[in-house]
């Protein structure tokens, strides 16, 4: 009887440790991938909106606007100069 209880106790202990390990593995994976990606999406959403609006204005609406080559003004000017050459 005591031998059977000891085996059950060992099985429960093993289950608990494996469960904790899986939880930490999954939890750490979620924290290290989802949160930085969410921050990136929030930070870049304004830039993506500007680039998309520029593309729609030029390609779909036929407006004569300068292509948005970069969100950084200095790089935009540099690339526009290269295209003009």
What letter does residue 72 receive in the DSSP assignment? S
The string of pLDDT tens digits covering residues 26-42 is: 666 666 777 788 889 99
1 pLDDT tier (thresholds 50, 70, 90)? low
For range 5-28, the mean pLDDT: 74
The string of pLDDT tens digits covering residues 47-85 is: 999 999 999 999 999 999 999 998 889 999 999 999 888
Cα–chain center distance at 80: 30
The predicted model scores a pTM of: 0.55
Quick one: tokens of 82? 């290269």
What letter does residue 10 receive in the DSSP assignment? H
CB under 8 A, 24+ apart: contacts of 70-73: 71/47
State the number of CA atoms in the 13 A half-sphere of 49 facing the CB. 6
Other beta carbons within 10 angstroms of residue 57's beta carbon come to: 15
């Amino acid at each position: 009887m005591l031998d059977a209880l000891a085996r059950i106790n060992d099985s429960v202990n093993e289950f608990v440790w494996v469960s904790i390990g899986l939880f930490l593995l999954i939890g750490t994976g979620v924290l290290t991938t989802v949160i930085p990606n969410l921050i990136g999406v929030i930070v870049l959403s304004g830039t993506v909106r500007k680039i998309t609006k520029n593309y729609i204005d030029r390609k779909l609406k036929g407006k004569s606007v300068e292509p948005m080559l970069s969100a950084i003004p200095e790089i935009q000017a540099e690339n526009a100069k290269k295209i003009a050459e």
